[in-house]
Amino acid sequence: MEERYLVKIENSEYEIVVRPDGENYIATIDGVAKQISLTDLSEISRGSGDVHALIDNQSHQVSMRRDNGSWHVFVAGKEFNTSVANYQLAQLKNRLGVKDVKSMARILKSPMPGLVLEVNVSVGDTVKDGETLLVLEAMKMENPIKSTGDGEVSKIHVSAKDSVEKGMTLIEFAN
């Protein structure tokens, strides 16, 4: 059975139709078909985990974390903030002018182990959705860690040159 989604990645939207193809899937993204094979999906259904994706015979290691209805997807050292919605529901909301309320997690945790290169906020700062909060170096790549909503910084647990582990608390926000 075919499923249709509206996927937002950063500031771009994509219509994606997914249908089973034996043990694999065919994903049509804005009219372009891709053959996809996924393994290790057990943890994803719980809201986080790693998956190996074979897309048109190219191998990708993907780490995903669900946070307040959106997904943080990490591929090749880059983070992508995404949301996935049922296509028909998204179209209906659009027609009715219903906006999704963006809520931000109260605690920002490190998505991967690395070294904090810079912290761009201070306690008491008001941040906007998409604002770079800090930069984390992992696997020789600089990864901007961005706000997933609007909020006020209440506590910062790290500073530049700190080493962090995956899941470590970086910043806390006021309710």
In this predicted structure, the answer to whether residue 41 has a pLDDT above a threshold of 70 is no
In this predicted structure, the answer to whether residue 43 has a pLDDT above a threshold of 70 is no
In this predicted structure, the answer to whether residue 162 has a pLDDT above a threshold of 90 is yes
At 2, the amino acid letter reads E
In this predicted structure, the answer to whether residue 102 has a pLDDT above a threshold of 80 is no
Instruction: Classify burial at 78, counting beta carbons within 10 Å of its beta carbon; exposed 0-12, middle 13-18, buried 19 or more.
Output: exposed
Would you state the pLDDT for residue 76? Answer: 78
Average confidence (pLDDT) over 17-35: 88
**Element at 149 (helix H, strand E):** none
At 135-159, the pLDDT tens digits run 999 888 898 998 877 889 999 999 9
Whether the model pTM is above 0.75: no
Would you state the pLDDT for residue 88? Answer: 77
Residue in the structure block whose two tokens are 């992992």: 138
Domains and CATH numbers, the chain: 3-96 (3.30.700.30), 107-173 (2.40.50.100)
% of the chain surpassing 90 pLDDT: 24
In this predicted structure, the answer to whether residue 168 has a pLDDT above a threshold of 60 is yes
Which tokens hold the place of 98? 């219903």
- Residue that wins the pLDDT comparison between 72 and 159: 159
